[in-house]
Amino acid sequence: MRRSIVKKGAALVLSAVVAFTSSPLFLSTASAAEGGSVSGSFNVLSYNVGGLPDLVSSSNPKEYTVQISPKLNDYDIINVQEDFNYHNELISQVTLPYLTTTSGIAGFGSGLNSLSKYPFRDLKRITWDKRSGVFDNGSDELTPKGFTAATYEITPQVKVDVYNLHADAGRDDKSLEARRDNIRQLSNYIKEHSDGNAVIVFGDTNTRYTRAADNIELLMSENGLSDPWIDLIRGGSIPADGEALMDATNLNGPNYEIVDKILYRGSKALSLNAQSYRLENQTFVDPSGKQLSDHYPITAEFVYSTSSQYQLSSTIGGSGGTGFNDLNQIPDARPSSVALNSGNRVDGISTLYRDGTNLAHGGQSNITTLNLAEGEYLTQATISQGTRNGDKRIFYVELSTNLGNKIEGGQKTSDQIKLEAPVGWYIAGFYGRAGQELDQLGAIYRPLN
């Protein structure tokens, strides 16, 4: 975790970083250490807080932002957009422990920030490849709008990739083209970096299902995402192209669509379902009942449960490289061998399965292979991290089997985790981040039967 994620109060920052990334005490809190499932719930809030400078904002942020602040504490994961010039006011009464560091005021920052009850890591800020509009059609080219991505750990076994976005505004041809490109860019990023992971995307999409020139459905269809407004309020029916749905007599009904949206999916390791969705049209108001921003905030509550067939360990390492997850590629066959590519550090890891499937990650260097006998399987992993070029990397890996055989590579450090498959389970694959080297690594467990 980098210092883009902080706990309020400077004295707490370091302890938050250490606890989340490498502390054995933190890692040992998994409630399913014996292979049991974990279930629970959490809620999310998406809110465009209208924090442009007061003179140009269509809201009244100078007066209203400080009123928004204490209301945020009732939510577990919050994505805000247009959090520009009044960020200090926005967080002034927030008690949630995990906050992103603002990227700057309007003209310099994206306005995208997150506040959370849960720790998160590997925060990425991505600017849109295409933007349109200055003064005549909005101001999208005047500030680096885009999206953020981070991995949240709800519990040690429950991990979700959370995306916050603010897409290009406007309805002229160039703005529509830029916004479609935004959605494609985000979709491609999710496909590359969140394969196999549970995902929640929420923010100001500036899209409407009814607008034929928008392509929000592409983001959903290419990534298996669902919209709780569609599922819970409209009974699964996506609005047809045509006139915008603006029935203000029932803001939480099926005929009132806003551009702020929540999309989500689970994974093979995590069942994730929305059980409620609503506009918070009566919560974020001033004493006279006036809305505190020019956007309605939206919220959804999710229920989750871990799989009886897959579990994820904690990970160790840094935020470099590209995310990978073997979950969707692991065959029913068990591994027949595992190989480490290593020198001074572990550059790569690959698993060969008995059906011929080979899953490899990281770079190529000296290869050491452990062949597994019939009935032999991986049960333990010791993984060390160190710092190289300013970020954490995987320096050492040792894998052990039920028969006591081992394979190791790289150089040990004192900063390490020890992973052990629950009783009756085995290490079936891996997930983490990798490029030319291994940046981050964790294990995927499957039951022996």
String of b and e for 189-208 (b: at least 16 CB within 10 Å)? bbeebbbbbbbbbbbbbbbb
Q: Which amino acid is at 325?
A: N
Q: How many H helices and E strands in the chain?
A: 7, 24
Name 264's bridge partners. 200, 226
Share of residues in the chain with pLDDT > 90 (%): 84
Kindly tell me if the per-residue pLDDT of 21 is higher than 80: no
pLDDT confidence band for 32 (50 / 70 / 90)? very low
Kindly tell me if the per-residue pLDDT of 329 is higher than 50: yes
pLDDT confidence band for 59 (50 / 70 / 90)? confident
By C-alpha distance, which of 379, 382, 376 is closest to 421?
379
By C-alpha distance, which of 355, 378, 374, 367 is closest to 409?
367
Other CB atoms within 10 Å distance of the CB of residue 216: 24
Name 41's bridge partners. 303
By C-alpha distance, which of 55, 116, 61, 58 is closest to 84?
61
Task: Give me the pLDDT at residue 202, please.
Answer: 98
pLDDT digits (tens, 9 = 90+) for 64-115: 999 999 999 999 999 999 999 999 999 999 999 999 999 999 999 999 999 9
By C-alpha distance, which of 79, 111, 122, 114 is closest to 97?
114
Q: What is the mean pLDDT of residues 54-64?
A: 81
Place of tokens 């990739």: 161
Retrieve residue 123's tokens: 């925060």
Task: Give me the pLDDT at residue 138, please.
Answer: 53
String of b and e for 251-268 (b: at least 16 CB within 10 Å)? eeebebbbbbbbbbbbbb
Kindly tell me if the per-residue pLDDT of 188 is higher than 90: yes
pLDDT digits (tens, 9 = 90+) for 413-423: 999 999 999 99
Domains and CATH numbers, the chain: 35-306 (3.60.10.10), 311-447 (2.100.10.30)
How many Å apart are CA 322 and CA 123, to the nearest integer?
12
How many Å apart are CA 55 and CA 57, to the nearest integer?
6
Task: Give me the pLDDT at residue 364, please.
Answer: 81
Q: Which amino acid is at 126?
A: I
Pairing relationship of beta strands 198-204 and 158-166 according to DSSP bridges = parallel
By C-alpha distance, which of 148, 38, 52, 153 is closest to 98?
153
Task: Give me the pLDDT at residue 222, please.
Answer: 98
3-state secondary structure of 296: coil
By C-alpha distance, which of 364, 431, 371, 430 is closest to 401?
371
Kindly tell me if the per-residue pLDDT of 58 is higher than 90: no
Task: Give me the pLDDT at residue 380, please.
Answer: 98
What rounded mean pLDDT belongs to the chain? 90
- Give yes or no for a contact between 163 and 148, defined as CB atoms under 8 angstroms apart: yes
pLDDT digits (tens, 9 = 90+) for 123-136: 999 999 999 865 44
pLDDT digits (tens, 9 = 90+) for 375-392: 999 999 999 999 998 999
Task: Give me the pLDDT at residue 5, please.
Answer: 37
Pairing relationship of beta strands 98-100 and 39-48 according to DSSP bridges = unpaired
Name 6's bridge partners. 99
Between 8 and 372, the more confident residue is 372
Task: Give me the pLDDT at residue 120, please.
Answer: 97
pLDDT confidence band for 4 (50 / 70 / 90)? very low
pLDDT digits (tens, 9 = 90+) for 208-236: 999 999 999 999 999 999 999 999 999 99
- Give yes or no for a contact between 165 and 216, defined as CB atoms under 8 angstroms apart: no
Q: What is the mean pLDDT of residues 190-218?
A: 98
How many Å apart are CA 154 and CA 41, to the nearest integer?
9
By C-alpha distance, which of 85, 40, 98 is closest to 303?
40
Kindly tell me if the per-residue pLDDT of 431 is higher than 90: yes
Task: Give me the pLDDT at residue 134, please.
Answer: 53
Confirm whether pTM is higher than 0.75: yes
For the ranges 26-35, 45-54, 168-177, which has the lowest average pLDDT? 26-35
pLDDT digits (tens, 9 = 90+) for 331-347: 999 999 999 999 999 99
Kindly tell me if the per-residue pLDDT of 15 is higher than 50: no
With both helix axes pointing from N to C terminus, report the angle between 173-193 and 216-223 in degrees, rounded to the nearest 10: 10
Kindly tell me if the per-residue pLDDT of 118 is higher than 90: yes
